[in-house]
Amino acid sequence: MKTERSAGLHDQAKKLIPGGVNSPVRAFKSVGGVPRYFEKGSGAYVWDADGNRYIDYVLSWGPLILGHAHPDVLASLNDAATRGTSFGAPTHLETELAQLVVELVPSVEMVRFVNSGTEATMSALRLARAFTGRDKIVKFAGCYHGHADMLLVQAGSGVATLGLPDSPGVPEGATADTIVIPFNDLEAVEQVFAKWSDRVAAVIVEPIAGNMGLVKGSPEFLHGLQTMCRDHGSLFILDEVMTGFRVAIGGAQAFYGLDPDLTCLGKVIGGGLPVGAYAGKAEVMQTVAPVGPMYQAGTLSGNPLAMSAGLAALRALTEGDLFATISANTAKLVKGVVESGQEFNIPLQTGNAGTMFGVYFLAGAGADIVDFDTAKRYADTERYARYFHAMLERGVYFAPSQFEAGFVSSAHTEEDIDFSLKAIREFMEAERGI
């Protein structure tokens, strides 16, 4: 496979952009090799600068649930762009998208649009603190909520440790009120509330973690969390930036029957343009300026192009049984992976949640990944790197890291899935006995 042009472009980029990339995982650091520079995408496929074609299971890290360059999204974008790209004044498009979100996401009564998932979680936590008059927040190790200082927190081992910053540049003060505990561990949550009962503003969680591979929250864990938040006057925040419109049309909250106070959205809601949103109960959302005292603003927030793309995407996604078809194709992919793993005795853990999926190669049989600790301990990152490159060579593009979820779009056909599974089977056969 030719990669000269991508390699050359990457060399140029590295001189001007740190690591040549504008978001770290894109640089292939954990799998090695030349990051592909994409020139074109259409439906389920992307083409790199050397003319190689790939079936894309990254889909811009989730947003492109209709595939690349979907005609409805393009038409909507084109229409919006010809009317002007930004006003810094309200447009009806914002109300239309808010209306659709309220209709589709069960717990949501009001919405505020921002420009990224990072802004959504950052603002939701400010809101929770403003609403409750409390300072502490609880997050779970391995859950990613964007790169705001207070959320870039390492897991302390053991229970209910106060977080230490994950990155240089994050002052200790920024994370001093962030409590980090293990995912899927309700006892740890109990201990936090036992200690800081009336000081916790909010608990934020990815209901299905998609940023440490794919780890599902157990229903007991998530419902227990919601109940404890209610009992202690803390807000229950679901970070559905990834799971929203992916696990089910109504997000993970529809799937589990949860009723969060606040929901963070992003990715799919922007149809491939930069959008985020925080949303929830009117009583809480009324605390946001200009109605209430909590300040949050954005020059390009509610941008007409982004709103148009989001509207077109959500409208297309909710037509007929499209969502069920994408989910069925995702399940078919996962089933095929399981079968190849069994055939060649490759220990793995895989699963899907609606239209997202995860594949862990395990360092030994019997290992079970349920949280960040077990993900780091049991995931065979070396085998994943071999898998990633074997797939790339065969024209299948998965995430360049073991600890990321994969995504399927409405543009992926059964033939695309079959082609991918054939490639996966070949890899597993070659790995037998390694």
Ligand X SMILES: *Cc1c(COP(=O)(O)O)cnc(C)c1O
Binding residues for ligand X (CB under 6 A): 116-118, 121, 144-146, 206, 210-211, 239, 241-242, 266, 276
Annotated catalytic, 376?
A: no
CB 150, min distance to ligand X, A: 13
Separation between Cα atoms, residue 155 and residue 139, nearest integer Å: 9
Residue closer to ligand X (CB basis): 28 or 144 = 144
What 8-state DSSP symbol labels residue 370?
-
Q: Which of 136, 267, 281, 332 is catalytic?
A: 267
Smallest separation, CB 242 to ligand X (Å): 3
Q: HSE (CB half, 13 Å, CA atoms) of 323?
A: 18
* Structure tokens given for 218: 């157990």
In the complex, the smallest distance separating the C-beta of residue 268 from ligand X, rounded to whole angstroms, is 11
**β-bridge pairing 356-361 and 178-181:** unpaired
Tell the smallest beta-carbon distance from residue 61 to ligand X (Å). 6
**Smallest separation, CB 247 to ligand X (Å):** 12
408: CB partners within 8 A, 6+ apart? 57, 59, 326, 329, 330, 333, 355, 356, 357, 417
Query: Contact 161/143 with Cβ under 8 angstroms?
Result: no
Q: Which is nearer to ligand X, 146 or 341 (CB)?
A: 146
How many whole angstroms separate alpha carbon 283 and alpha carbon 103? 18
CB-nearer residue toward ligand X: 272 or 341 = 272
Q: Which is nearer to ligand X, 94 or 239 (CB)?
A: 239
Residues 6+ apart with CB under 8 A from 159: 181, 182, 185, 187, 188, 191
The angle that helices 381-393 and 414-431 make with each other, rounded to 10 degrees, is 130
Q: How far is the CB of 58 from ligand X (least distance, A)?
A: 12
Cα–Cα distance for residue pair 312/87, rounded to 1 Å:
20
The one catalytic residue in 45, 57, 144, 397 is 144
- Whose CB is nearest to ligand X? 117
Judged by CB, which is closer to ligand X: 45, or 57?
57
| Residue at token pair 């209610």 | 230
* Gap between the Cα atoms of 228 and 205, Å rounded: 14
Catalytic choice (239, 261, 380, 416): 239
3-state secondary structure of 388: helix
Active site residue 267: yes
Known catalytic residue at 29: no
Smaller CB separation from ligand X, 264 or 428: 264
Residues 309 and 65: their CA atoms lie apart, in Å, by: 12
Give the number of C-alpha atoms closer than 13 A to the C-alpha of residue 226, restricted to the C-beta side: 19
Beta strands in 115-156 (DSSP E): 136-140
Distance CA 77, CA 71 (A): 10
CB of 87 within 8 A of CB of 323? no
Minimum CB distance to ligand X, residue 291 (Å): 25
| Of residues 242 and 312, the one with the C-beta less far from ligand X | 242
Please report how close the Cβ of residue 347 comes to ligand X at its closest, in angstroms: 27
Kindly state the smallest distance separating residue 264's Cβ from ligand X, in Å.
Answer: 6
Distance from CA of residue 424 to its chain's centroid?
Answer: 24
Per-position b or e across 277-300, b if 16+ CB within 10 A of its CB = bbbbbeebbebbeeeeebebebeb
Of residues 43 and 266, the one with the C-beta less far from ligand X:
266
Nearer to ligand X, 76 or 116 (CB): 116
The residue written with tokens 């603003």 in the block is 297
Which residues carry out catalysis? 144, 239, 267
